[in-house]
Amino acid sequence: MASDLWPGVRLHIVTGKGGTGKTTVASALALALATGGNRVLLMEVEGRQGIAQLFDVPPLPYDETRVAVAPDRGEVIAQAVDAEAAVLEYLRMFYNIKRGGTALKKIGAIDFATTIAPGLRDVLMTGKTGESVRRRENGQPVWDAVVMDAPPTGRITRFLNVNSEVGSLTRVGPIKNQADSVMRVIRSPETMVHLVTLLEEMPVQETVDGITELRESELPVGSIFINMQQPEELSDDQLSRDVPVSAAQLSSGLEAAGLPAAEPLVQALEEEGVGHAVRVRLQRRERERLESLGVPIVGLPLLDGVDLGGLYELAETIVAQAPR
């Protein structure tokens, strides 16, 4: 059964500038997609083990491991795709090479394939993802959805555009065929690239640039996830002032609340108000820039530290706002 969020999409690629909470959003998205009884595969391709830490489980092996259950018997299975294991698996699957792994490592061939050969690592990573999306058992897809915690925005287009990258190096041969089949999955309507951002200038600029690049390469742009939105505690009228809540207001307010209206406290609260107004104005300005892009937006609140409970909370928020 497919999820009714982002109908028709089975591969969700989640990117974002470093520090925006890409892994958190990818994990919450996987939980959201699993809601209602779906089986969702959550893939980590950058070897950070961030998913394991979020779900509070031991470091993920290369094998698929269940990390969470979702409402109504859904489940999230996670996998850390390690480039070296992917090469060996690839050789086994396509060339029936079972021995030789150690020898390959010894001469540095694995190193070459996973870290040095331009684009090859990306072919392996995206290839593994493509294979998961296509995998079927008893005529049914094994996964209702696949979520990839992808490389950051600055690298995403190059990462996904493995075809042109590798194409310039090898015009024929197995790697080229592999790249072609990956591109077919990525360019299909079943795939979407989501971008995670904060409402700050630099991440928003990177999101704008990222979307432009993705569109130029004809890669499918999904939704923008605004992460860690600060709650707005002030009215429009208060926001328009330099000092949203004055010392006089605060003094009488504190007295009414039974707190000593000491000078340092009043002053600190006044400053907090000024800082908050600056941040809220910045948030609104950046949000407008994002809205002008014509991409659906999902807003996620700032949590006081993200734990498993927080992930479920974010998943609910996603379910409530996702395009259907």
Partner 1 sequence: MSPTTPAPIFDVDGLLRSPDTRIIVCCGSGGVGKTTTAAAMALRAAEMGRRVVVLTIDPARRLAQSMGLNHLDNTPRAVPDIAGDGSLDAMMLDMKRTFDELVETHSDPERAAQVLENPFYQALSSSFAGTQEYMAMEKLGQLQRESEAEDLWDLIVVDTPPSRSALDFLDAPQRLGSFLDGKFIRILTGPAKGAGRGLGRVVGAGLGLAAGAVKKVLGTELLVDVSTFVQALDSIFGGFRQRADETYRILQQPGTAFVVVAAPEPDAVREATYFVDRLTEEHMPLAGLVLNRMTLPPGHGLSAEEALVAADRLEKSGEHLETAAMLRLHADSMRSSARQNHVADRFTAAHPEVAQGVVPALADDVHDMEGLREVGDLLAEDLPRTG
Q: Could you give the string, one character per residue 65-94, with x where binding to partner 1 holds by CB under 8 A and - elsewhere?
A: -------------------------xx---
* 3-state secondary structure (DSSP) of residue 39: strand
Query: With binding defined as CB under 8 A, does residue 53 bind partner 1?
Result: yes
Q: Which stretch binds partner 1 (CB under 8 A): 45-53, 61-69, 179-187, 210-218?
A: 45-53
User: What does the per-residue mask of binding to partner 1 show for 100-139, with x meaning CB under 8 A?
Assistant: x-xxx-xxxx-xxx-xxxxxxx------------------
- Does the footprint of partner 1 cover residue 56 (CB under 8 A)? no
What is the smallest separation between the CB atom of 280 and partner 1, expressed in angstroms?
A: 10
Buried b (16+ CB within 10 A) or exposed e, 139-176: eebbbbbbbbbbbbbeebbbbbbbbebbbeeeeeeebb
Using CB under 8 A, which of 171, 236, 309, 320 touches partner 1?
171
Instruction: Give the integer Cα–Cα distance in Å for 156 and 162.
Output: 10
One-letter amino acid of 51? I
Q: Which of 153, 248, 147, 272 is nearest to 203 (CA)?
A: 153
Question: What phi and psi values does residue 81 have, to the nearest 5 degrees?
Answer: -85, 115
Query: Interaction with partner 1 in 220-279: which residues (CB under 8 A)?
Result: 231, 233-234, 238, 244-245, 249-250, 252-254, 256-259, 262, 264-265, 268-276, 278-279
With binding defined as CB under 8 A, does residue 313 bind partner 1?
no
> Would you state the structure tokens that stand for residue 163, as one six-digit string?
């075809």
Contact positions with partner 1 (CB under 8 A) in 19-38: 19-20, 23
DSSP 185-242: HHHSTTEEEEEEE-SSHHHHHHHHHHHHHHHHTT--EEEEEEEEEPPP-S-HHHHTSS
Q: Which is nearer to partner 1, 21 or 74 (CB)?
A: 21
Instruction: Pull the structure tokens for residue 90.
Output: 């690839």
Select the residue interacting with partner 1 from 155, 187, 287, 289 (CB under 8 A): 155
DSSP 259: -
User: Per CB under 8 A, does 287 bind partner 1?
Assistant: no
Instruction: Choose, by CB under 8 A, the member of 7, 61, 174, 323 that binds partner 1.
Output: 174
CB-wise, 1 or 94, nearer to partner 1?
94
Does 324 bind partner 1 (CB under 8 A)? Our answer is: no
Q: How far is the CB of 248 from partner 1 (least distance, A)?
A: 11
**Among 30-38, 139-147, 150-158, 211-219, the segment contacting partner 1 (CB under 8 A):** 150-158
Give the separation between CA 192 and CA 34, rounded to whole angstroms: 17
Q: Contacts with partner 1: how many residues (CB under 8 A)?
A: 86
Closest contact distance (angstroms) between CB of 146 and partner 1 is 21
Cα 242–Cα 245–Cα 248 angle in degrees, nearest 5? 115
What are 224's two structure tokens? 């923008």
